Amino acid sequence: MCRRMFKLAHISDIHLGPLPRLSVRELFSKRITGFVNWHRNRRKHLFGSTLDLLLDDIRAKQADHLAVTGDLVNLASGLEIRAAAAWLKELGDPADNSVVPGNHDAYVPGAYEKSVRAWYDNVRGDLAPAEWQEDRHVFPYLRVRGKVAIVGCSTAVATPPFAASGFFGERQARDTVNMLRAAGEAGLFRVVMIHHPPIRGATSFYKRMIGIRRFGAVISTGGAELVLHGHTHLNTLHWLRGQTGPVPVVGIASASQGPGGLKPRAAYNLFTIDGSPGAWELTGERFSINSMGDSMGSESADIFKA
């Protein structure tokens, strides 16, 4: 009897566009800075067609699950949040697609709650209530798919203008440790999803994750085999100290980044997970669009083998 390998695809920083028409009231906030930035910079290089190319290629490679590490929207207006909810429905069964929010999904006060409520089916754990409940902690959540445990964490908080930092607090840290320990005891391969890179110096100061040391302690005490993040729009590989050795921390370019910009072209990570506790086999590959932005590149590069 052959063993069943698990394929996990990873995309991030969708930034669904174009921006909808916003009212004066909606722009009378931090959104005005993001609105200007979009029209001056992002709209020139972020294209929805690249996202479609990635998703088609992910389906062709028959990935078992898709991890989306945040920033589905740009300014977190009501129209954008609803459009992202519609996009998630088109993506397929929420059981096969896991999402964590990013800083753009919590762009202004109140947006975080609206985003999580609208996308609840994609951000709730296996044992969570089927319906959204006010004043309930959604994160971290736990989903078990085959031999893989997916733990979704949130660093999304509203920040002042010209700031894009995230926060990982004590309560979420304690709950995450407990989930990771339980998953480890159950013999599962543990994947942690988070938006901000939990690596010191990985971003500018105003984009940093507050709670990096706390998150590192979670991984070293709770245990994990893989950490996925977004936020930087870069293809990166770092390592955190784990219980039995280094844990790969992998970032990915924006799923909507077209060619010609300062950041890498749109890409996705594809991880193949096999083996058993104490002898896990993990292979990571990256696939990106070509220089013309009209198809996937013909070559893939190994991220690592562990």
Among the listed residues 84, 92, 80, 82, the one whose alpha carbon sits nearest the alpha carbon of residue 56: 92
Work out the mean pLDDT of the chain and round it to a whole number: 89
Q: Can you give the residue ranges of every domain in the chain?
A: 6-18+29-305
pLDDT cut 70: percent of the chain above it: 86
pLDDT of residue 260: 82
Taking 50 as the threshold, does the pLDDT of residue 35 lie above it?
no
pLDDT of residue 209: 98
**pLDDT tens digits along 149-208:** 999 999 999 998 888 999 999 999 999 999 999 999 999 999 999 999 999 999 999 999
CA distance 306 to 253: 22
Q: How confident is the model at residue 306 (pLDDT cuts 50, 70, 90)?
A: low
Mean pLDDT lowest among 40-49, 56-65, 201-210, 234-243:
40-49
CA distance 290 to 23: 37
CA distance 106 to 115: 7
Q: Tell me, which fold does domain 6-18+29-305 have in CATH?
A: Purple Acid Phosphatase; chain A, domain 2 (3.60.21)
Is beta strand 209-210 parallel, antiparallel or unpaired with respect to 236-241?
unpaired
Taking 90 as the threshold, does the pLDDT of residue 301 lie above it?
no
pLDDT of residue 284: 95
**Ranges assigned E (strand) in the chain:** 6-11, 65-68, 97-99, 141-145, 148-152, 166-167, 189-193, 209-210, 226-228, 236-241, 246-251, 267-276, 279-288, 301-305
Taking 80 as the threshold, does the pLDDT of residue 219 lie above it?
yes
CA distance 84 to 54: 17
Taking 90 as the threshold, does the pLDDT of residue 212 lie above it?
yes
Is beta strand 6-11 parallel, antiparallel or unpaired with respect to 267-276?
antiparallel
Distances (CA, A) of 205 to 54, 167, 199: 31, 13, 12
CA distance 77 to 97: 23
CA distance 37 to 154: 25
Would the pTM count as exceeding 0.85?
yes
pLDDT of residue 49: 84
Crossing angle (nearest 10°) for helices 78-91 and 111-118? 20
Check: CB of residue 176 under 8 Å from CB of residue 140. Answer: yes
pLDDT of residue 262: 85
CA 303 to chain centre: 18
pLDDT of residue 1: 36
Check: CB of residue 75 under 8 Å from CB of residue 39. Answer: no
pLDDT of residue 77: 87
**pLDDT tens digits along 71-128:** 999 988 888 999 999 999 999 999 999 999 999 999 889 999 999 999 999 999 999 9
**pLDDT tens digits along 2-27:** 457 999 999 999 998 755 555 545 54
User: 77-82: which pairs have CB atoms within 8 A and are 24 or more residues apart?
Assistant: 77/20, 77/22, 77/26, 77/31, 78/114, 79/20, 80/16, 80/19, 80/20, 81/105, 81/111, 81/114, 81/115, 81/118, 81/119, 82/118
